[in-house]
A and B are shown apart, each in its own frame.
Chain A
Amino acid sequence: MNTATAPNYELIQQDGLETSLLEISMGPHHPSTHGVFRMDVKLDGETVVDLKPVFGYLHRNHEKLAENMSYLSSMPFTDRLDYFNSMANNWAYALAAEKLIEVEVPERAEYLRVVMAELTRLVNHVSLIGFFLNDLGALGTPLLYAFREREKILDLFEQASGARMMCNYFRFGGLRNDVPVGWIGRAREVVDRFPVFLDEYEQLLCENEIILSRTQGVGNLSRELAINAGITGPMLRASGVNYDLRKVDQYGIYDRFKFRVPYGEAGDCYDRFMVRMLEMRESVEILKQALEGIPEGPVMGNAPRVFKPNPAEVYGRIEGPKGELGFYLIADGTPKPYRYRVRPPSLINLTVLRDMCLGGKIADTVIILGSIDIVLGEVDR
């Protein structure tokens, strides 16, 4: 059975009491909805009977804008898709566009790309756990501890590319500029201190009875539904499917690094939370290996000055921190793309929001939404 059906729900009946369903719009301005996202929830007491997500409040028509601009000019707009992970978005677009032309990316650029992508993954997972705990009611303590580490990594991004979040650093054929002198030493310092921080974070959170009782068994997602609904990323792996694009597609130079892929069993919120914690440790492993092996050399390959690919269609995808981020480009021989499409992981992961929330309490809805890890910039583009 592929489409989920709402469970047959009976309203609470009690003698003498007239009950009806309460319809709430957990509206676009809401501290727990991770952006301008609205859910029309029908409640019977505190139990969720129906849920309809509504989005489009941040729709900026990125796809149509890209049809009027050259390929390079839409690179800064890809930063703003999933605004926490700008480096990863840049890489996905650069990967897709590099399939259209024949260009070889130099070794140093490949290593630096992996370093930037894994640092982005650390930033994303640590911020997500912070926000998730905010939704649970921890009022900011884990969030600010996470942001303390995130600041160090954002300082590294600023030194490499000039801006903390909207980096615009990747180009077709390599990177925009080389990292400054001493950057690799500073990056190594940050990466060496990260496991210490992770140990402290785990001690703070992972045995906490409140978290265990509120997240275990909540928001179960079965394996078959996850595959059929096109869920990707840590959410898929928490449901027990071993599918990580870094191991399947082996884009870039990921085949040279030794790392494991954590995956869970039950597919509930606790598994998603723990998968992200474990993925951070694996990212630190990759970073250590990459920072050891960076060779000297140029960071930009021989890309043509004017980017005018031959007519072709290409789909390039990477394992972004939230899931599979893909770009579908149709080139028609002019300097502007004919069709530019972003495959947003956050939007597709929201397909099963209703299935997971039905029958639970409204407080659980907030937690489930927090564990799906959406960013509205990507959902709406």
Chain B
Amino acid sequence: MSILGGGVFKGMVVTLRNFVGSYFYKDRLTTNDYSWRPNDKLPQRAGDYPKEEGEQLRDTTTVTNYSRNFPMLLHDGGEPMDTVRCVACQICERECPPQCIYIEKSTEKKENASGKPQFYPATFDIDVSVCMSCQICVEVCPFDAIVMNSQFELSTPNRFGGLLLRRDDLLKSNDYYHRIHPEEAAARDQRIADEKAAKQAKKMAAAEAAKNKAEEKARAEAEANKDTADAEKDAE
């Protein structure tokens, strides 16, 4: 445009188009729309946060099925400490980049979900003011015991201890994990099942092989005994 101010005018046409369009087309809005959240659901005082297992304010405009925030320990249902998967191997403590995990192993073993006596964590503290949600603890855990939670509303009025999550705060059930990260939880369960099946198949194959070998040996011995018995008979 050759008029002075023509370029500015063209730009203003764009702004006007966006302004009018934002009343009709949602994707012209530049802000999040929080109208889904009815006011009575918001906590009014510090202690109002819902404490039941799995109950959290799901802000569905910002928390999705894929987002990760702070870690949590998994247990397989029932009483948390009876079926806890963590065996306090301390690999996540070593690999954690900002060193925010503190683990103390228990002194005696206890039976875990599959009946095997294992150590368990007597103390498992994560300092969420240090944790940077990098997910490396999840990657290096050999027992699928620690995974990422998506709960972010963890603020507390207690400055000196409130941001330290202890073991019992961190324990959440596998069902809860399926509710917040369905795809990831399903994939993880599938992988555990596959590994177990593979191990079972290997054990069966080894047992088969051992059984065959034992049968071979028994047959060979029987042959040898028969031969010596025949030889003795002939000698008589």
Assess the A166–B133 pair: CB atoms within 8 A: yes
Distance to closest chain B CB from A159 (angstroms)? 5
Given contact pairs A162-B66, A166-B134, A73 touches B10 in the complex (Cβ within 8 A): no
Q: Which of B6, B15, B30, B183 is most buried by chain A, counting CB atoms within 10 A of its CB?
A: B30
Given the complex of chains A and B, what is the CA–CA distance between A96 and B73 in angstroms?
34
Given the complex of chains A and B, what is the CA–CA distance between A306 and B135 in angstroms?
18
**Interface positions of A from 192 to 215, Cβ below 8 Å from B:** 200, 203-210, 212
Given contact pairs A144-B30, A166-B132, A69 touches B14 in the complex (Cβ within 8 A): no
B95 adjacent to chain A (CB < 8 Å): yes
B1 adjacent to chain A (CB < 8 Å): yes
Chain A interface size, as a band, is: 35 or more
**B: number of interface residues (CB 8 Å):** 31
| Chain A residues in 8 Å Cβ range of B67 | 158, 162-164
Of the residues A72, A141, A208, contact of B95 by C-beta under 8 Å: A72
B225 adjacent to chain A (CB < 8 Å): no
Assess the A69–B8 pair: CB atoms within 8 A: no
Assess the B132–A76 pair: CB atoms within 8 A: yes
| Chain A residues in 8 Å Cβ range of B15 | 141, 204
Assess the A208–B11 pair: CB atoms within 8 A: yes
Given contact pairs A70-B95, A76-B97, A163-B67, A207 touches B134 in the complex (Cβ within 8 A): no
Given the complex of chains A and B, what is the CA–CA distance between A159 and B68 in angstroms?
10
Over the window 146-183 of chain A, the binary record of Cβ atoms lying under 8 Å from chain B Cβ atoms (1 yes, 0 no) is 01100000010011101110101000000010001100
| Chain B residues in 8 Å Cβ range of A212 | 7
Given the complex of chains A and B, what is the CA–CA distance between A204 and B16 in angstroms?
11
A371 adjacent to chain B (CB < 8 Å): no
A74 adjacent to chain B (CB < 8 Å): yes
**Interface positions of A from 54 to 104, Cβ below 8 Å from B:** 69-70, 72-77, 79
Distance to closest chain A CB from B224 (angstroms)? 48
Given contact pairs A207-B7, A209-B5, A163 touches B95 in the complex (Cβ within 8 A): no
A315 adjacent to chain B (CB < 8 Å): no
Given the complex of chains A and B, what is the CA–CA distance between A74 and B67 in angstroms?
21
Question: Which residue of A is nearest B11, CB measured?
Answer: A204
Interface of A is mostly: helix
What are 13 sample pairs from A and B whose C-beta atoms fall under 8 A apart?
A72-B95, A73-B136, A76-B97, A76-B134, A76-B136, A144-B30, A166-B132, A166-B134, A204-B15, A206-B7, A207-B1, A207-B7, A209-B5
A145 adjacent to chain B (CB < 8 Å): yes
B86 adjacent to chain A (CB < 8 Å): no
Given the complex of chains A and B, what is the CA–CA distance between A72 and B92 in angstroms?
13
| Chain A residues in 8 Å Cβ range of B17 | 200
A148-B29, A176-B139, A205-B11 given; 11 more Cβ-contact pairs under 8 Å: A69-B97, A70-B95, A75-B136, A144-B30, A158-B64, A166-B133, A203-B14, A207-B11, A209-B5, A209-B7, A210-B8
B101 adjacent to chain A (CB < 8 Å): no
Question: Which residue of A is nearest B133, CB measured?
Answer: A163
Chain B residues within 8 Å of A, Cβ to Cβ: 1, 4-8, 10-11, 13-15, 17-18, 27, 29-30, 64, 66-68, 95-97, 132-136, 139, 148, 183
| Chain B residues in 8 Å Cβ range of A144 | 30
Q: Which of A70, A162, A206 is most buried by chain B, counting CB atoms within 10 A of its CB?
A: A162
Given the complex of chains A and B, what is the CA–CA distance between A129 and B96 in angstroms?
37
| Chain B residues in 8 Å Cβ range of A72 | 95, 136
Of the residues A77, A159, A180, A207, contact of B6 by C-beta under 8 Å: A207
Question: Which residue of A is nearest B7, CB measured?
Answer: A207
Considering the complex of A and B, which 8 residue pairs feature the smallest CB-CB distances, nearest first? A207-B7, A76-B134, A162-B68, A204-B14, A73-B97, A144-B30, A208-B7, A204-B11
| Chain A residues in 8 Å Cβ range of B183 | 180-181
Given the complex of chains A and B, what is the CA–CA distance between A335 and B60 in angstroms?
41
Given contact pairs A76-B97, A158-B64, A158-B66, A208 touches B134 in the complex (Cβ within 8 A): no
| Chain B residues in 8 Å Cβ range of A75 | 134, 136
Given the complex of chains A and B, what is the CA–CA distance between A74 and B96 in angstroms?
10
Distance to closest chain A CB from B138 (angstroms)? 10
Given contact pairs A148-B30, A207-B7, A210-B8, A73 touches B95 in the complex (Cβ within 8 A): yes
| Chain B residues in 8 Å Cβ range of A180 | 66, 183
Distance to closest chain A CB from B23 (angstroms)? 16
Distance to closest chain A CB from B7 (angstroms)? 3
Distance to closest chain A CB from B225 (angstroms)? 51
Distance to closest chain B CB from A144 (angstroms)? 4
Given the complex of chains A and B, what is the CA–CA distance between A76 and B4 in angstroms?
51
Q: Which of B7, B18, B27, B95 is most buried by chain A, counting CB atoms within 10 A of its CB?
A: B7
Given the complex of chains A and B, what is the CA–CA distance between A164 and B69 in angstroms?
11
| Chain A residues in 8 Å Cβ range of B18 | 145
Given contact pairs A162-B68, A163-B68, A209 touches B139 in the complex (Cβ within 8 A): no
Q: Which of A74, A176, A181, A207 is most buried by chain B, counting CB atoms within 10 A of its CB?
A: A207
| Chain A residues in 8 Å Cβ range of B96 | 73
| Chain A residues in 8 Å Cβ range of B134 | 75-76, 79, 166, 168
| Chain B residues in 8 Å Cβ range of A155 | 64
Assess the A208–B8 pair: CB atoms within 8 A: yes
